[in-house]
Amino acid sequence: MDKRKDHELLREAGKMVDRCDRCGTCLPVCPLFGVKGVEATSARGKNTIARALAGGGIEPTREVLDVVNFCLLCRACVDTCPAKVPTDEAMVDVRQHLTDLAGGADVKYRLIGGVLKRPGVVKAAAAALSILRRSGLNGLFPYGMAPEEYTRAHFLTAFAGPAALGQKAPPSAVTVTGRTKVAYFRGCGMEMMFPEAAAQTRDILKTTTSLLVKQNVCCGLPHLAHGLREEFLSLARQNIRLFEEAEVVVSDCASCGATLKHLSSFFADDPAWRDRAAAFSGKVMDLTEYLEKVGYLPRQKADVVFTYHDPCHLVRGQGITRPPRELLKAAGSFVEMKEADVCCGGAGSFHVDYPDAAAQILEKKRRNIEKTGAAVVVTGCPGCLIQLAKAAKASDGKFKAMHISQVI
């Protein structure tokens, strides 16, 4: 990265956090502060670090990078902050600055980024993980990245009885004009770890429209979060070009959707891409957002109690809370969970980098799920689903974790 741009990022981060008046409103809502109780884990602490870096008050050491990496980027602090200080954005910029000074991202992030920016490699990884699941060897894969899946068939057999499997779903009553060009965005996490759920998303979309399925590249969020900003921008340009013919781009991954909706802000000062990026971001929809707009109804209603976990990138990144709940109410019974919008501890690779902290956050989530008495906890993010699948396993069969496309 151009060093001038690098220092501009740090200056921008300094401006963002300069609005922090250290009131401490962020402390009670920060899951990591709740686990550690250390100031540096909170938004207030991280804002102080960013301000000191930008002002030259502290040296940009590896230890400082470790502190700013210890952040879920869940935006809970932003939601509660009276001044709406965008600590998550500031941390991403500071990470990029410190990563560049250190000579580049860690090898593991470069390797992950290299895999995710190549669709062919993502497909190969998806096939390998599928084999692991079918062979029962997924437990050997680290960090639960090859979780057991619950398909629609599993769901219906367990909760609706075999008779429901023989009933043909009624045709969709949604009218879609021939001019509407709806495209599906393939998320890396969905394709690699939850291909059955992704396939069911496409099946659902096909009942509402003549679906365009593109061979897109990664949304770029893993790259952006770990100091690979130029790769993120390159992936963004590829996706913008690829989907220009579509009028709507639907994502069933909350993280992908939030990233794609925010692409325009990264090209605001680029005259060659500003308008194209804005047009692209304006047509991205979450799966539940789209289904609400077209009036989709679940194919059957089962005698099942659902609860719902809000992915951070959906509830705060996109402001979407009602559509998934309405779909679940139509698919069965629904019980609201306490602290449904609190991060599950997944946060991309956070649960891999900081497993102990992530496990403590998840344990609280597991208890809240069990208190609802629900048989299924539903979410719309593969990262969250990995975590919730761990919680389900720890619950000794009290509940299962599923993607929303698998139950509607």
How many whole angstroms separate alpha carbon 288 and alpha carbon 311?
A: 13
Residue 373 reports pLDDT greater than 90: yes
CATH topology of domain 111-290: Glutathione S-transferase Yfyf (Class Pi); Chain A, domain 2 (1.20.1050)
68/204: higher pLDDT = 204
pLDDT tens-digit map of 309-319: 999 989 988 88
Burial class (CB in 10 A: 0-12, 13-18, 19+), 34: middle
Question: E strand or H helix at 211, and its extent?
Answer: strand 211-213
Q: At what angle do helices 3-17 and 43-54 cross, to 10 degrees?
A: 130
pLDDT, average across residues 256-285: 92
Q: What pLDDT is attached to residue 175? A: 47
Burial class (CB in 10 A: 0-12, 13-18, 19+), 292: middle
pLDDT, average across residues 245-263: 92
∠ CA 295-301-303, nearest 5°, is: 150
Q: What pLDDT is attached to residue 65? A: 83
pTM tops 0.85:
no
Residue 133 reports pLDDT greater than 70: no
Task: Look at residue 102 and give its three-state secondary structure.
Answer: coil
pLDDT, average across residues 377-405: 93
Q: At what angle do helices 87-101 and 43-54 cross, to 10 degrees?
A: 50
Q: Which two tokens stand for residue 76?
A: 């809970």
pLDDT, average across residues 285-296: 92
Residue 56 reports pLDDT greater than 70: yes
158/257: higher pLDDT = 257
pLDDT, average across residues 327-347: 93
How many whole angstroms separate alpha carbon 50 and alpha carbon 52?
A: 5
127/196: higher pLDDT = 196
Domain ranges of the chain: 3-101, 111-290
Q: Which of 3-7, 9-13, 140-144, 225-229 comes out lowest in average pLDDT?
A: 140-144
Runs of H (alpha helix) within 136-227: 152-159, 162-165, 188-193, 195-206, 221-225
Domains 3-101 and 111-290 belong to one CATH topology? no
Q: What pLDDT is attached to residue 244? A: 94
Residue 399 reports pLDDT greater than 90: yes
Count of positions (residues) in the chain:
408
Percent of the chain past pLDDT 90, that is, above it, reads 43
How many whole angstroms separate alpha carbon 191 and alpha carbon 200?
A: 12
Q: What pLDDT is attached to residue 38? A: 83
97/367: higher pLDDT = 367
The average confidence (pLDDT) of the chain is 82
Q: Measuring CA to CA, which residue among 298, 310, 344 is closest to residue 159? A: 298
Provide the pLDDT confidence category of residue 6 given band limits of 50, 70 and 90.
Answer: low
pLDDT, average across residues 260-289: 92
How many whole angstroms separate alpha carbon 8 and alpha carbon 70?
A: 23
Q: What pLDDT is attached to residue 112? A: 59
Homologous superfamily in CATH for domain 3-101:
Alpha-helical ferredoxin (1.10.1060.10)
Burial class (CB in 10 A: 0-12, 13-18, 19+), 106: middle
pLDDT, average across residues 342-346: 89
Sign of CA dihedral 352, 354, 355, 361: negative
pLDDT, average across residues 270-285: 93
Q: What pLDDT is attached to residue 159? A: 47
